[in-house]
Structure 1
Amino acid sequence: MKLGINIGYSGSRIDLPIDLIRYAESLGYDSVWTAEAYGSDAVTPLAYIAALTTRIRLGTAVMQIPARTPAMTAMTMSTLDALSGGRVMVGLGLSGPQVVEGWHGVPYGKPAVRMREYVQILRKIWARDEPVTFDGEEYQLPYRGPGATGLGKPLKSILHGRQLPIYLATMGPVNIRATAELADGWLPIWFSPRRMPMFRPHLEEGFRRAGNGKSWKDFDIAAGCTVAIGDDVGALLAAQKPFLALYIGGMGAREKNFHNEMAVKYGYGDAAKRIQELYLAGRKREAEEAVPDELADEMSLVGPVARIRERFRDWEDAGVTTLLVQSRDPEALKLMAELTGASRGATV
């Protein structure tokens, strides 16, 4: 199992943990991942990190698909890949209607179709076989829709790059199948190793649809996991609950919240409903308290070292191939490097 460090997106001020990232690199960590919501973007921090590191790979978890045209994503990430010495991985996600239409000002449209077409266009751009044309439901190259001049010209990238690894952050069966079919890796959202039997059939069906002999050996499952060392397990779980309450309760509309739906699928339907009711009523503290310990626990590794060591086996057995550690604690990073064997490549 490889290790990554997931630093997410910024709050009101940019605060990149550069020393921690360098420490992770020295411990043998394979990758560092950034994110975006509706504040800081995911790519600019990676460019800064690239300049201050030498080996660690650079991933987005995720770039929002509706925020950029496929061509802009291809250009941006190929440029960063060239400047960083070939270290880039492209993690993409669909986001949700509130952000897509409320922040980016574009229609939510058909998200499953959009994701498929987006990946197909990226592959065509990076292949540089010919000037790119594409006639899809969500994307047309050249564009021929309302307001078009008719002067659009098929183009081929000036920059000679490579086929960058594509990772997709998906939750529902249709998009999980598409991830296994189209992408090089999966960024599962709210991953619990206990729930892998729920996802495995969809991934295997996606491999079959790829039609090229694709299998588990060709695919990276890069799962996020909060890691925290301490004797008070309850307190460590409680520290995760504000983030869980935000997503289950408020990251989406009452009628359409994918994170809430995932909690329901995991068997926490009553709690998910209560969290959302409280959060949308402005009772955030009560919403946090309504998050079950069991839910936070099955998606994390917290507690004394012995407990973490024992429960880490579940993540290995589930088939996770890259563990994206979510922690700002150097001791937690060191422990995971020891457990996975990443420390054998350490330079400290």
Structure 2
Amino acid sequence: MPERRDGMTVPLPGPLHQQAEQVAELAALGYTDVWSSESNANDAFTPLVLASQWAPSLRLGTAIVPAYTRGPALVAQSAATLASLAPGRFALGVGSSSDVIVERWNAIPFENPYRRVRDLVRFLRAALEGQKVSADYDTFSVRGFRLGIVPPEPPPILVAALRGQMLALAASQADGAILNWLSASDAARVSEIVNKRGSGRDKEIVARIFVCPNPDRQTVIAQGRRAVAAYLNVPVYRAFHEWLGRGDLLAEHWQRWAAGDRAGSLEAIPEQVVDDLIVHGTPDECRAHIDRYFDSGVTTSSLQVMAFGGIDVWEAAKSLAPRPYSR
């Protein structure tokens, strides 16, 4: 098994240009990685470019770059730039993203997501090794592209995976999987699929873990329901949780949501679902819960602190650190 890696999602709240000291301190606190995300705020690469200079010991990862919103060559260029800035400590996570981000926000048809991600992985493998690529893939064609800068060490490529096909792709053609919005017990099931299909090779399994070190349970449940609803009504995540077996638990929520009863739909999310998908409680309770993900086959965490109840995100990051905060 790969060694355990403890990561934090960046950027942290606040102006990006003012986070140099905090990012550097993440390394001092024992975090090994920082991972970016990309939806409607910062892009995936810029925070990592800054972190590469602010904290030279941290590994950097994208979780994730959507496969549709940049052309294949631009993804390769961006990845090569960051891999050259931080040799040996960058991991490129790609995935289909969702119809909301791709189609509603970026006006790009969200079609054939499995094939699009597969094709991008195959193209990136060749391009990041410095090969000249002229190829017809199922979802795009590339003619005569060669990277002008070839990173000294091609970055590992990870695939954001929810269900069977993507998990198989992560296992067979990528260096691992990135998981999102799942419980520790779900992680055990998913990790087993990746490892069984990985042909005996060690695969990295990154889990984005949503965490709120706030012992006020009722506040976390109330605000956590909103966060859960925001994701689980996106079609790809609804299908994922039906596949995981939460269809009956969430049936009433989905029915009320579809009928326009937003308040009623939130109340219909069982507390058990929030408990499963959002780590919460005292910092010690959160640490123990995070450990369950690693016990379930996860090799790398990317904590996303949720500020439910108005908690301070930076203080929360310190309270959850692999090394106890002593200042």
Q: Taking structure 2 as the reference length, what is the TM-score of the superposition?
A: 0.84
User: What SS does structure 2 have at the residue aligned with 1:171?
Assistant: coil
Query: Is the 1:28–1:347 Cα contact (8 Å) retained in structure 2?
Result: no
> For 2:224, which of 228, 233, 240 is the aligned residue?
240
Query: Is the 2:38–2:65 Cα contact (8 Å) retained in structure 1?
Result: yes
Corresponding position of 2:309: none
CA distance in 1, matches of 2:238, 2:17: 29
String of CA shifts for 1:81-100, please: whole Å, max 9, x gaps: 22345532211110233433
User: What SS does structure 2 have at the residue aligned with 1:67?
Assistant: coil
CA distance in 2, matches of 1:207, 1:120: 17
Relative to structure 1, the CA distance from residue 17 to residue 190 in structure 2 (aligned partners, 3 Å threshold; closer, same or farther) is farther
Matched, 1:320 2:298: yes
Matched, 1:269 2:247: yes
CA distance in 2, matches of 1:228, 1:302: 5
CA distance in 2, matches of 1:34, 1:24: 14
Corresponding position of 1:146: none
Structure 1 residues not aligned, in runs of 5+ = 143-153, 252-256
Matched, 1:166 2:167: no
> For 2:173, which of 149, 170, 182 is the aligned residue?
182
Structure number with larger C-alpha Rg: 1
Deviation at 1:325, TM superposition (A): 1.4
Corresponding position of 1:231: 215
CA distance in 1, matches of 2:90, 2:191: 27
Deviation at 1:337, TM superposition (A): 3.0
CA distance in 1, matches of 2:181, 2:64: 14
Deviation at 1:283, TM superposition (A): 4.3
String of CA shifts for 1:134-167, please: whole Å, max 9, x gaps: 222112222xxxxxxxxxxx23222121311112
Corresponding position of 2:275: 297
Aligned partner of 1:159: which letter?
I
User: What SS does structure 2 have at the residue aligned with 1:239?
Assistant: helix
CA distance in 1, matches of 2:170, 2:94: 10
String of CA shifts for 1:288-311, please: whole Å, max 9, x gaps: 333222112123332134433443
Deviation at 1:329, TM superposition (A): 3.3
Deviation at 1:71, TM superposition (A): 1.4
String of CA shifts for 1:37-56, please: whole Å, max 9, x gaps: 24542222322333433322
Corresponding position of 1:157: 147
CA distance in 2, matches of 1:88, 1:239: 34
Note the 1:1-348 alignment, pairs <5 A. 1-7=4-10, 18=19, 19-128=21-130, 130-142=131-143, 154-161=144-151, 162-208=153-199, 213-214=200-201, 218-249=202-233, 251=234, 257-327=235-305, 329-338=313-322, 343=323
String of CA shifts for 1:65-85, please: whole Å, max 9, x gaps: 001122111101111222345
Relative to structure 1, the CA distance from residue 279 to residue 44 in structure 2 (aligned partners, 3 Å threshold; closer, same or farther) is farther
CA distance in 1, matches of 2:258, 2:16: 29
User: What SS does structure 2 have at the residue aligned with 1:90?
Assistant: strand
Aligned partner of 1:230: which letter?
N
Task: Answer with 273-282 or 90-99: which moved more.
Answer: 273-282
Query: Is the 1:64–1:93 Cα contact (8 Å) retained in structure 2?
Result: yes
Relative to structure 1, the CA distance from residue 280 to residue 52 in structure 2 (aligned partners, 3 Å threshold; closer, same or farther) is farther
Relative to structure 1, the CA distance from residue 74 to residue 108 in structure 2 (aligned partners, 3 Å threshold; closer, same or farther) is same
State how many pairs are aligned: 316
Q: Taking structure 1 as the reference length, what is the TM-score of the superposition?
A: 0.80
Query: Is the 1:222–1:320 Cα contact (8 Å) retained in structure 2?
Result: yes
CA distance in 2, matches of 1:185, 1:30: 18
Task: Answer with 17-26 or 61-70: which moved more.
Answer: 17-26
User: What SS does structure 2 have at the residue aligned with 1:141?
Assistant: strand
Deviation at 1:206, TM superposition (A): 2.6
User: What SS does structure 1 have at the residue aligned with 2:279?
Assistant: strand
Deviation at 1:174, TM superposition (A): 0.9
Identity in percent: 25
Relative to structure 1, the CA distance from residue 313 to residue 39 in structure 2 (aligned partners, 3 Å threshold; closer, same or farther) is closer
Structure 2 residues not aligned, in runs of 5+ = 306-311
Aligned partner of 2:177: which letter?
W
Deviation at 1:124, TM superposition (A): 0.4
CA distance in 2, matches of 1:33, 1:299: 19
